[in-house]
Structure 1
Amino acid sequence: MGQSATTWATSILHDWGGGRALWQSGRMAKPRHIVVAINPNAAFGKNARVGDAVVAQVVAAGHEVTVCREPDYTSLRAATAQAIKKADALLVVGGDGMVSLGINLVAQTRLPLGVIPAGTGNDFARFTNLPLADPHAAVEHFLAALERGPKVIDLARASKDGEHRWFVCILSAGFDAIVNERANTMTRPRGKSRYTLAILRELLRLTPRTYTLTVDGVTTERQAILISVANGESMGGGMRVAPEASITDGTLDVFVLAPVTRRRFLWLYPRVFSGRHIGEPEVSLQSGKRVTVDAPGIVAYADGERLWSLPIDVEVVPAACRVLI
């Protein structure tokens, strides 16, 4: 960025974060080239200004910034993939969809990934203790991590018919995936209420599915309402499906919810947010390194992003990603 861009960034920073003179903090000792990828539609557009403020704060800290901001996900991914070829770090601004974009670009490379949570779910930010609802603090956290150096985490790799996708949180292949698929076909209402309506519609049709589940070579048939393959502990904005899951232990946690009535499902649902569903008789967890999930008529989602119809193979890849957390 030139002088005029720096002046613009300083103005934005003053308006947003109290005008802190970050260039006086000593962080300019090691200027880096940071690519900042911004989702302008994060949190259904409620956080549209966050991206500009993040860029301003990073510039004020003495770093060179390339901004990637496109009208759609495909274009943003392509622009970011091009921009990071000469970058020192990738910083994504948005929710778990942006985390997904980031990890699918930097997995098994040396380029580190930073995250400014500005979405609705922000599950990666939750279980890595990034500041939530405070983008200024999140940028401060990122800048400090940039000086400390990256941490190495595991990723999960989903595969089907020669295609591969990385995820860091959880792959869903049950009721929650069905709700996502329903919501994505709805045009109204807009915003978060669309997902609430999708939940209510699918709850009326709550029916167990027959799954073929293979964990580390052992295959079983299961009747289930929910099956999730977890690398991290939560999804859906804090649902701690696998509260003991770790992104550094080299294993996946496989969560299964056996058939339940609608009333029992509604009793269990709020307990997932605190992890208190663990130990209930309908809930089972097992760990493994390779998992295959199969059932007819279900499209899987991972980190909130649509994958493919089942069957899908999943494997954990230890130390696959460098993150600035």
Structure 2
Amino acid sequence: MAVNPRAAFGRHRDVGPRVVAALRGGGYGVTALLEPDYATLRSAAASALARPDGGCADALVVVGGDGMVSLGANLVAQTGIPLGIVPSGTGNDMARGLGIPLDDTDAAIAVLTRALGCGIPGSPVVVPGPIITRTIDAGRVHHADGTTWFASVVSAGFDARVNERANGMRRPRGASRYTIAMVRELIGLRAIRYSLVVDGQARELDALLISVANNGSIGGGMRIAPDARLDDGALDLFVVAPLSRIGLMRVFPRVFRGTHTSLPQVSLERVRSVALDAPGVVAYADGERIGPLPVTIEVVAGALRVLA
């Protein structure tokens, strides 16, 4: 089990120990991983999944936000090892898409233990039952440094610029850092010229934002692709055409309600693969930095088993 100790800026440090206690009480042996940084945690989780006897772990459980889901997806995609999620981060969009309770840790743990078939604590013999999983799609990004899996969304526009700026800021440390980064990016708002290849068809266009979504939301509930399905074998290409600062700020609130899709500046298209290129644009997948464009994104149907 991999735990992000800094999830939601450290406000939920108790969640990891509660998950460990629930799983051990239900009859599972748990390897709890709590490392000081993301890279070390990923390495430790990869080592823990490789059992000395040549077998595989029953599941990988991640505790945190979408960054931890990204870590898990990149370790278990196409392996058959189920991924469990107990949300305790800031955005938690993948948990939202899977219907895992967001603001009730006990309820989220109950979803996990039910899927794992945990035994009843206090019984004379606690034996886990059969594991219940859901099979969903995942996205795969090919880029200059290799391949990255994602569960929710790849961003390559205004929102990615906000992430890039926020990650370069040392202060403030809380969620307000992203608000400040967004305001600063709005000052220099400009359209980006993109070259795309969508399901084999080349096109060029100007846009403020392009995202490729497997899940319906991003950024803590912004419903950029409200009709996206996790198991339809497709991705949703989301494009926002050039807008003024005022125009973008008018569109922005509607994204949380999912009512922006009727606007003429917004387009959504169901696709299987997208190649993206634009100068000076950095791509992010599930909130984690991939690197500069170009990238090629494809859906891989049924690549993930999840406990939900």
User: Shared fold by TM > 0.5?
Assistant: yes
Q: Distance in 2 between matches of 1:149 and 1:307?
A: 32
Counterpart for residue 244 of structure 1: 227
The equivalent position to 1:216 in structure 2, one of 199, 214, 218, is 199
Q: Does residue 52 in structure 1 map to residue 3 in structure 2?
A: no
Counterpart for residue 300 of structure 1: 283
Structure 2's unaligned 5+ residue stretches are 52-56, 118-130
Question: Of the two structures, which has the highest relative contact order with CA contacts closer than 8 Å and spacing of 6 or more?
Answer: 2
Runs (4 or more) in structure 1 with deviation over 6 Å come to none
Q: How does 1:1-325 map to 2 (within 5 A)?
A: 36-86=1-51, 87-147=57-117, 148-161=131-144, 163-325=146-308
Q: Distance in 2 between matches of 1:273 and 1:280?
A: 14
Counterpart for residue 54 of structure 2: none
Q: After superposition, what is the alpha-carbon deviation per residue over 1:220-252, rounded to whole angstroms, capped at 9, x for unaligned?
A: 111100100111111100011111111100011
C-alpha distance 151-106 of structure 1, shift in aligned 2 (>3 A) = same
The answer (yes or no) to whether the contact 2:169–2:177 under 8 Å persists in 1 is yes
Q: Provide the aligned length of Structure 1 versus Structure 2.
A: 290
Pairwise CA distance, 1:319 = 0.6
Q: Distance in 2 between matches of 1:143 and 1:190?
A: 33
Q: Distance in 2 between matches of 1:51 and 1:162?
A: 32
The answer (yes or no) to whether the contact 2:100–2:111 under 8 Å persists in 1 is yes
Higher helix share: 1
Q: Distance in 1 between matches of 2:80 and 2:153?
A: 23
Q: In structure 1, what residue type is equivalent to 2:44?
A: A
The answer (yes or no) to whether the contact 2:8–2:90 under 8 Å persists in 1 is yes
Pairwise CA distance, 1:161 = 3.2
Q: Distance in 1 between matches of 2:88 and 2:265?
A: 34
Q: After superposition, what is the alpha-carbon deviation per residue over 1:195-240, rounded to whole angstroms, capped at 9, x for unaligned?
A: 1100000011110010111100111111100100111111100011
The answer (yes or no) to whether the contact 2:142–2:295 under 8 Å persists in 1 is yes
Q: Distance in 1 between matches of 2:229 and 2:235?
A: 8
The answer (yes or no) to whether the contact 2:22–2:113 under 8 Å persists in 1 is no
Q: In structure 2, what residue type is equivalent to 1:177?
A: A
Pairwise CA distance, 1:191 = 1.3
Q: Distance in 2 between matches of 1:184 and 1:267?
A: 26
Q: In structure 2, what residue type is equivalent to 1:222?
A: L
Q: Percent identity?
A: 54
The answer (yes or no) to whether the contact 2:191–2:207 under 8 Å persists in 1 is yes
Q: In structure 2, what residue type is equivalent to 1:63?
A: Y
Pairwise CA distance, 1:54 = 1.3
Q: After superposition, what is the alpha-carbon deviation per residue over 1:285-311, rounded to whole angstroms, capped at 9, x for unaligned?
A: 112111011110011001000001001
Q: After superposition, what is the alpha-carbon deviation per residue over 1:58-83, rounded to whole angstroms, capped at 9, x for unaligned?
A: 11122111101100000000001111
Q: TM-score, normalised by structure 2?
A: 0.92
